Amino acid sequence: MLRINDNYRIEFDGGLNCVLIHSEAKIAEKGKNIGEEYLSETNYYYPNVHTALKRFLELSMEDATDVKDCVKLVEETFEKIKNLKFK
């Protein structure tokens, strides 16, 4: 497993694929558990670590508001990627 940050990690599915996983704590708004916190996970499947990290970079850019913000987010993301370690 590669933990990128508190919300993203990459796991290997046992085959030849990588799974980029986004985890986020949410509060239930419907059903019998309204108001209770739960962990929501979204899985993105890729053929290798390179494409999984490329998608992580794309997802990191979603909050960018202008070019300066984009550059800052790219630099921060590259720094995170540079410091990754397998666990």
User: Residues 18-76: pLDDT tens digits?
Assistant: 999 999 999 998 888 888 999 999 999 999 888 998 898 888 888 888 889 888 888 88
How many separate domains does the chain show? 1
Q: Which domain holds residue 46?
A: 2-82
What does the pLDDT read at residue 86?
Answer: 61
Outline where DSSP puts E strands in 28-76: 37-46
User: Which pLDDT band holds residue 7 (cuts at 50, 70, 90)?
Assistant: very high
Residue 32 lies in a domain: yes
Q: Which long-range contacts (CB under 8 A, 24 or more apart) does 76-82 make?
A: 80/4, 80/5, 81/4, 81/53, 81/56, 81/57
Residue 87 lies in a domain: no
Residue 69 lies in a domain: yes
Residue 76 lies in a domain: yes
